[in-house]
Structure 1
Amino acid sequence: MRLMAPVLTASLLVLGVAACGSGSTGTTAAPKPAEKVTLTIGLFGDFGFKPLYDEYKKTHPNVEIVERVTQFNDHHNNLIKRLATNAGAADIEAVEVGYISTFTAQPQKFHNLKDYGLDKRQGDYLDWKWQQGLGKDGQSVLGLGTDVGGLAMCYRKDIFKKAGLPDDRAAVGALWPTWEQYIETGKKFAAANVAGSKFVDSPGEIFRAMVNQAPTGLYDAQDQIIVGTNPDVKKAWDLSNQITQNGLSAKLAAFSPPWNTGFAKGSFATIICPAWMTGFIQEQAKDATGKWDIATVPGGSGNSGGSHLMLPQQGKHPKEAAELIDFLTSKENQAKVFKEEGTFPSIPALYDDPSIQSFTKPFFGDAPIGKIYSEAAKALKPQHLGPKEADVRVAIGNGLGRVEQGKQTPDEAWTQVLADVAKIK
């Protein structure tokens, strides 16, 4: 059964009441029609919000909601520019965790959601998820979380069979308790020479997953970049490049058009699979029902992705926009979006909810998606994110790409990565 979206207690309707005339028979004028309000919401990809808009408008008929959807990198880079020029931002902007610290370092550019009473939501959230949405002063509330990206590994059962590998999800997970064993499994897959398929899409998201599993990532707690001194980052770099060197990569950059079509074509047999990826796979590979399944990720847990909704100061209707954010991120609606789109809630009270625990999807062979991602979310250990996190990740991703394209050796690319990262201030 679908959960119904809640009705906000704060109404956008403003009733006009006429003053009483002289005498004892005062009259009340008819309510004035509510002002028409159009709210724009900037997103990267489909957040599964459209059915929620329809529900919201039943109680807020004066509100029109317009989505502006662009590609991931374009969305965030455009927002950076729009904040710098003080023009062009949407009323509500979605920000992915890799960029969140870039924007929370600019609290003057956003409305403080405390001013609209949304600090009341703190008790709903995972503590670390709430902290990610705070301004650099640790006090202002700049964003409410939509989801978290607890990790699993999605794989093609039919392609695993062709390669002579087990296809049962428990047996598959047992192949790779560590990343080293994941690569060894990839070598066995490669030896089978399955036509048209490589073991993994590309090493970029593998690198990100490995780093996200470490106690400390690209920054230390004092906001110093530690790429060159953190052994976990170098280990992730070396293992990611082993994927390329052993011919395991399909060389498909994430979110590129060839990567999108690769899901349906079976161009790769495994992919790092945070909860939100399940909805993306189902959208891109509509005719592959039952061919995909979900196993545990090497290392057992981790986080990749997850977003917040924020209010740029440029918005013309911050009160109404804040009320919409409250609605879209409510407990009931996070559960609903998970069941429809796969984005996993950032509200821990849902993790033991029977309707989440028992949730499965026929597309993934009735894999216990709710249980898998609940356990992954419970095991998450948050990592400090620095103010230029996204820029550092881009520099490293570019380095992995140069190795994949044969332009540099891993050592040459690492030297350039360190030089590029040193320029990030």
Structure 2
Amino acid sequence: MSIKSATVAASREGGYKQAMIIIGGLFAVFGFVTWLNASLISFLKLLCDLTDSQSLMVTFAFYIPYFLWALPASWVLKKMGFKNGMAFGLVVMAAGSLVFIPAANQRSFILFLVGLFIQGAGLSLLQTATNPYISILGPIESAAKRISIMGICNKLAGVISPLILSTILLKNATAVEEQIKTTTDVVVKNQLLSELASRVIMPYIVLTVFLVIVALLIRRSSLPEINAEEEDSSGNAVPARKSLFNYPYLWLGALCIFTYVGVEVMAGDVIGTYGLKLGMSPDTAKYFGSLTLACMLLGYIIGIFTIPKFLSQDVALRGSAILGIVFTVAAFFTDGYTAVACIALLGLANALMWPAIFPLAIEGLGKYTKIGSAILIMGIAGGAILPQIYTGLYEEKSLFGGFLHSQGIDFKEGFMYSMVPCYVYILFFALKGHKIGKIRA
């Protein structure tokens, strides 16, 4: 069945609404899992006595699988279909969550990273399936609106997840940190660390069971399959070009996704570390990630009411990039809670970026939609790289420290220097990049 006829049939039978509900539930699931990282960074930094760059290996391990597995994921989707592929992705995520149990028992940072890597692999499959699915489920002009609705599901769960996990993992974090630092008895210190590590076991057992249950429900659902290979994403038959390299706007879009996810992860996951460096206590800073997500939630709501009625997708992206530059610079020139508020407001600036970039970059790909979507999903690896570049600018003992560390650059300068160029590129894509090589009807 073609996209157009599938959409019509789905609308007649109520399948369109059901599909939106099911995919919205999936967006909530991987939003919940993704934004647990904000709490894990602080937790593992305390548990494993890590530097900033080491603790941000959490984001590296979680996001780098998108680069490695997105293309294989498109092959899996071609063989299994959207629905079965989504269910399989959830099972892979459950396997990654299960690894947290031996990781906690052994207090092994490497095993935690392995679990995160497996989770990321499962999510790369889910993202490769769900984003093009929701984009082509209806008219491409309103894709940003549908993705904004999905974003609300994602970020509502994202706001809740660090609050829940922080309450469990980082309860009395300031006092626990002080005890661990001041204790000289090795036995007592190991006991404290073992008790701290044990806090992660039950939440991830529950998460594993939940993911398996959701996978079974998706497998048994009536989620309609959509054939993305016969028509373009707007439902119009177009002749396919010789290869993906004949779609320059797709590759520019992939780089745009890379920079966007980088700044999103910085705003959501690094904000806690930023607050600690400003002298705030762990008990206070552990909730900062939820502030960023709350601002993103507000941005998605704005998108639902304004796109495409008042704003086109590219105009919304332009405004978002400009806001990102403004709030980043404001964070540099302010201090204390004002600076933290500016970083949280980056959530508002970032909210409409994914909903705008993705449909702009896959429009008109026709039979290349699935693999083109996979290439865009590879760009999510920006969440692995940008935090390491950030710490590399101010921390000598970091992954990129030998290349990027410059004497005299502090964490505030590092934040600005790593973020502003990304927003400038996003602005370029909004103004010109998404038009390069695109055939307009």
Shorter-chain TM-score range:
under 0.3
* Superposition TM-score, scaled by structure 1 size: 0.25
The structure carrying a bigger helix percent of its residues is 2
The structure carrying a bigger strand percent of its residues is 1
* Superposition TM-score, scaled by structure 2 size: 0.24
